[in-house]
Amino acid sequence: MKIPVFPLIIATLLCVLRLQPLPAQTQEKPTKQLIVYFSWSGNTEKVAAALQKAVGGKPVRIEPQTPYPENYMETVLRARAEKNAIYERNDYPAIRTRLDDMEAYDTVFICYPLWLGKVAMPMQTFLHNHREMLKGKTVIPVCSSGKSPASKTLPDLKRLCPSCIVSGLFSIKREEMEKVEEVVAGWVKDLCRHKAGIAWEGNTAPANIRQDSCLKVGH
């Protein structure tokens, strides 16, 4: 008896299709977050701790090669000398902190005090030393200050990290330190909600925040 060929072909194809594994659903790769901070008085360290609590991420403290004096005026005098060395001779103060795994992180929060109207000098050194590693990464500045606006530090950030995607600049004032966790969490919510970035020379970037971080703060 002659068996029809066409039905056999159809049956064979159906069996093959049943054996094929279903394609895995593609999931968005979560961003890895780094929190780099420099703190002299302890205020910026508290900000970094509140940020780490709000969004997660790996905290890294910048350590100067030579610790700053505990005396405020002595620290101001040294900071002024370091500032002059940077802007007059491109000479940055040495730090002990160096990261060789920067490529593992997509988003880098940088927390620093405003010193003499500038990004604190040790943070400037960190950005200068890691300039190549930070290319194309989202950098989110967090600036602690007395009363001066954090926007004063934007020219420094542009100079130190020209190929970074700078986004979501945040300033926290001295009088807000008593409720630092609440203030930082509120800012992170706004960052998640609006995805707002900073624009300069036509370069505007959204804040690249992990979705689970946004859920963590109740967005």
User: 81 — alpha (psi -120 to 50), left (phi > 0) or beta?
Assistant: alpha
pTM surpassing 0.95? no
Longest pairwise C-alpha distance within the chain: 105
Distance CA 45, CA 51 (A): 10
Where residue 125 falls among pLDDT bands split at 50, 70, 90? very high
pLDDT for the residue 72:
96
CATH, domain 32-193, list 3.40.50.360, 3.50.40.10, 3.20.20.70, 3.30.70.1900? 3.40.50.360
pLDDT for the residue 217:
41
- The structure tokens listed for 19 are 């054996």
| Domain locations along the chain | 32-193
Distance CA 111, CA 218 (A): 23
Residue 12 burial by CB count (10 A; 0-12/13-18/19+): exposed, middle or buried?
A: exposed
pLDDT tops 50 at residue 11: yes
pLDDT tops 70 at residue 23: no
Q: Once rounded to an integer, what is the mean pLDDT over residues 60-69?
A: 98
